[in-house]
Each structure stands twice: as C-alpha cells, then as structure tokens.
C-alpha cells in the first residue's frame, strides 16, 4: 500500500441514536477522503459491551446511508483491514496490552481491576490541522490513566490507537471534545511505537444560545429529521456548513460539489451554531427544486400516513405543486394539502366564511351566486388563469367587493384562514369538487353562524 494514501474514518459508539454531531463528523471525513482520492472507513467502537447494542449500529449505518455517504470499508461491506467492530478485534488489543506490560510502560493496578499507562510528567504537544499547535498537560486528567479493565477488556483509548494504526488511518478528524483524548492517544502511540496520524479537531456544535448542542435544547437525533420530512440533500448541505466555510457567497452545494470543494483549511476553530430554522430554509430550497413526479414520490409516505386517498396521481401532483413553495418539510407539505383530500370533511366553522367587512346574509347570497355562476362555466375555463379572469370580471360587473367574494370562496374550498389562492385551488379541485364545496358552504351558513 502507498504510504501516503489518505484514509479517514468515522468511529461511532453504538450506544445511542445517531447524533447530528456524528453525522457532521462522518460527512467531513467522507468529503476529505473523496476530495483527496482517499478512503473512508466506518468502524464500530463497541468496546463498551454493556451499553453497545446491535440496533444502534443499524441506526447509525441507516443514518449514514440516508445522508448518501459512501464508505469503502466497514462492518457491512468488509474490507482488507477488518474486522470493523472492536468487539471482534480483541486479540489485537490483548497483544498491545501484553507488550505494554512486558516493557513496563503499563502496570496493573493493585487490586487487579485495571491496567494503567505510565505517563511522563511532560506536556504533550501536537499539531492540529485546524487549531495549529496544541499543548495538553497530562495533569488535566491526572497523569497515568486506565487503558484496560483486564487483558480482554480494553477501554476506548487503547482500542482506538491500536485500530487507527492497524487500519492505516492517516487523518483522525473528530470533535473538539476529543482534544485531551488525543494527547492520551499520542502517549499510547509512543509507548507502542506506532505511527501518529494527523489530527483535525472539528469545532463543537452549539445551539442558538451558544451552549453545547444537546437534546435538552433541540432535536439532535439525525433520523428524527428524516422522519419529519427533511430531505437528505438539505441536511447534508446544511451539515457541511457547520464549521466549514466554502469561501464563496453560494451556500447551496450538492454532495458532488462538496466532494470537490471541501478543504480542512476552510474549517473554523470557533463553535458552529446548529439552527433548525436555517435548516428549514435549506430544506425549503431543496423541496422547490423537485419535479412534480419527485415531489409526489417523496411526499407519498406522509400523504399515506395522513390517511389521504391517493387514487388519482395527477390530481395529487397538482395539489402538491400548489403548496410546494410554502412548506419547509414534507410533513408540513402533507398537512398543507389536507384540504385537497377527496374525503376532506370540511369541518370549519361557518363564521369563518364571513369576511370582516361583510355579514352572514350577504355572504350566503354571494356563495349562492358564485355557485350558479361557476356551474354555468364550461370545463375549458377550468384553469387558474381563466378562472381568475372570468371570476374577476364577473365580480366587477356585479359590483361586488373582492374581499366579500373571494374570501368565502377560498374558505369554502380550503376551510382555512391561510391557504393558497382560490383560483389555483379551484383549478386543482376541478369543477365538480369546487361546486360540491360551495354547496357545503352554502348549507353550513344557512344552518347558521
Ligand atoms: N467512539 C468515539 C465516539 O463516539 C469516536 C472517537 C474517535 O473518533 O476517535 O466519540
């Protein structure tokens, strides 16, 4: 193998759901590997036997796949440097521990409950590709530290160091919270005579009040965003900008563009703020890019979940297009188009039909007239523009007020205070349904406000 081959890895512990921070770290590692023609590896760090669960491993891999990340070696696909789960690499850790004990770099603690590494009382100095020279005093963690509970039970520090060397990892790109761990890992590398990879510590993810992002202040579970109808393209694009500056005014990048542009030199030191509203704006952007066909395919699970009947695909494509520019997520989109559902119950309050300058009696008359007028129109008029032209000249001829007429029409069709305009809505609903709904509104207001 070529010594200079770039190899990066994401090394998640399967002890919980897929965290947004893990996703961002994985993405940066993948982008750096792709940009440099290197390899990106997934390694499952399940040394903590009690807390590690197979289902979490699955969730983490699902999250990586959902984002569209690709890896060259991993627990699911194998590779020349496997196995890719620490629970399957025990012999290697045992060998390293035996070596450290034999050369007296490590010693068992009296009661035999742990093995500690001897740490010289000197600063550990290393170069970080993002932060420059970093100095850590081993006193920070109290000097000698535990590297195993027993020969067959190594802790994270030992396993990571052995694996990074055995898997020829050239760059360790991980969160800033690992800075002092890196100093420990360097001490272990020295004791074991292993090469030192290059380190790059990514800035912390913060919430809007600049506190460390946590589930107490926001949603940190990556797949919860998937389940609320965020698009992976939007999430990926947004995550890429959490700490990385593309040095251009453009902020929308496809995965391929990111793979070309990404540079560690563009990563900032200061914390990066995760803002769900901003993510929503990215998602809105990507939703708008979808063709009608794509939009229906992506929205379909949400439409189904909402219980709408989707027998007429063309109808739903039109309906979704009406709301496409308004919704931030697929979930919002599905609730936004609820009134297009063929079995919409029309369960709004009759008082909503009355425009603020009007009254019940007048509204009832207008709805009646609207019904008669629209009933006379031919099918060829049933497009947004012609409906608009025809209806507006009718309103003028009759000397009606716009608000008094268009408001009840819109409410009759959507049952909402805020909704798309009456012409585009009527155009999608079609003549029969529009008349049916006006009839419903007429009956409702007749029964009384
Ligand atoms: N298993 C560690 C974690 O989940 C990975 C640390 C590393 O990247 O070395 O934080």
Closest atom of ligand 1 to CA, residue 164: 9
pLDDT digits (tens, 9 = 90+) for 195-225: 999 999 999 999 999 999 988 888 999 999 9
**Domain boundary residue among 268, 285, 302?**
285
Closest atom of ligand 1 to CA, residue 174: 8
Show which residues are catalytic.
215
- Residue 181 Cα, ligand 1 centroid: separation in angstroms? 10
182 and 155, same domain (yes or no): yes
Q: What is the pLDDT of residue 131?
A: 97
Q: Is 184 in the pocket of ligand 1 (CB under 6 A)?
A: no
pLDDT class of 3 with cuts at 50, 70, 90 = low
**Domain boundary residue among 277, 306, 338?**
338
Q: Are strands 272-273 and 205-206 parallel, antiparallel or unpaired?
A: parallel
**Owning domain of residue 176:** 7-206
Calculate mean pLDDT across residues 347-373. 96
pLDDT class of 449 with cuts at 50, 70, 90 = low
Distance from C-alpha of 277 to C-alpha of 290, rounded to nearest angstrom: 20
- Residue 155 Cα, ligand 1 centroid: separation in angstroms? 12
| % of the chain exceeding 70 in pLDDT | 99
List the strands of the sheet with 198-202, edge to edge: 39-42, 7-10, 171-175, 198-202, 124-128, 132-136
333 and 362, same domain (yes or no): no
- Residue 1 Cα, ligand 1 centroid: separation in angstroms? 26
pLDDT digits (tens, 9 = 90+) for 58-72: 999 999 999 999 999
Instruction: Kindly report the pTM of this predicted structure.
Output: 0.94
253 and 299, same domain (yes or no): no
218 lies in some domain: no
Domain at 15, CATH number:
3.40.50.620
pLDDT class of 308 with cuts at 50, 70, 90 = very high
- Residue 277 Cα, ligand 1 centroid: separation in angstroms? 28
Enter the tokens of residue 305: 């979940």
Max CA pair span of the chain = 101
37 and 168, same domain (yes or no): yes
159 and 303, same domain (yes or no): no
183 and 40, same domain (yes or no): yes
Does the structure show a pLDDT above 80 at 52? yes
pLDDT class of 1 with cuts at 50, 70, 90 = very low
Q: Is 332 in the pocket of ligand 1 (CB under 6 A)?
A: no
Mean pLDDT, the chain, rounded, equals 96
359 and 441, same domain (yes or no): yes
Does the structure show a pLDDT above 70 at 238? yes
Q: What is the pLDDT of residue 109?
A: 95
User: Which residue has the CA at smallest separation from atom 7 of ligand 1?
Assistant: 11
């Amino acid at each position: 193998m070529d010594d200079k081959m770039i190899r990066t890895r994401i090394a998640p512990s399967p002890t919980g759901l897929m965290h947004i921070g893990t996703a961002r770290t994985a993405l940066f590692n993948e982008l750096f590997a792709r940009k440099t023609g290197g390899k990106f590896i997934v390694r499952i760090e399940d040394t903590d036997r009690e807390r590690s669960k197979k289902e979490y491993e699955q969730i983490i891999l699902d999250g990586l796949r959902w984002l569209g990340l690709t890896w060259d070696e991993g627990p699911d696909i194998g590779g020349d440097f496997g196995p890719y789960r620490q629970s399957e690499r025990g012999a290697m850790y045992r060998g390293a521990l035996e070596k450290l004990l034999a050369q007296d770099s490590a010693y068992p603690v009296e009661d035999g409950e742990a093995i500690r590494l001897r740490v010289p009382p000197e600063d550990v100095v290393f170069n970080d590709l993002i932060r420059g020279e970093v100095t850590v005093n081993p006193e920070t963690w109290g000097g000698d530290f535990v590297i195993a509970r027993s020969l067959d039970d190594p802790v994270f520090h030992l396993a990571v160091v052995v694996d990074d060397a055995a898997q020829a990892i050239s760059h360790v790109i991980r969160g800033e919270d690992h800075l002092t761990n890196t100093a420990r890992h360097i001490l272990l590398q020295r004791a074991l005579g292993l090469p030192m990879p290059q380190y790059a510590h990514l800035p912390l993810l913060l919430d809007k009040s600049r506190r460390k992002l946590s589930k107490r202040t926001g949603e940190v579970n990556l797949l919860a965003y998937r389940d609320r109808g965020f698009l992976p393209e939007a999430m990926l694009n947004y995550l890429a900008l959490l700490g990385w500056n593309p040095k251009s005014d453009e902020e929308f990048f496809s995965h391929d563009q990111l793979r070309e542009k990404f540079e560690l030199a563009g990563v900032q030191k200061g914390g990066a703020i995760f803002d769900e509203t901003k993510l929503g704006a990215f998602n809105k952007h990507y939703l708008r890019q979808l063709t009608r066909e794509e939009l229906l395919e992506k929205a379909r699970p949400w439409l189904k979940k909402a219980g709408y009947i989707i027998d007429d695909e063309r109808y739903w494509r039109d309906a979704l297009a009406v709301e496409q520019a308004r919704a931030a997520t697929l979930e919002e989109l599905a609730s936004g188009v609820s009134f297009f559902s063929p079995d919409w119950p029309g369960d709004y309050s009759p008082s909503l039909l009355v425009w603020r300058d009007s009254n019940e009696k007048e509204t009832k008359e207008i709805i009646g007239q609207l019904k008669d007028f629209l009933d006379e129109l031919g099918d060829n008029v049933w497009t947004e523009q012609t409906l608009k032209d025809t209806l507006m000249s009718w309103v003028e001829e009759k000397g009606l007020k716009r608000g008094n007429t268009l408001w009840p029409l819109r409410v009759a069709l959507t049952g909402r205070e805020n909704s798309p305009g009456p012409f585009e809505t009527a155009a999608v609903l079609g003549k029969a349904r529009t008349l049916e709904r006006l009839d419903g509104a007429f009956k409702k207001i007749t029964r009384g406000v």
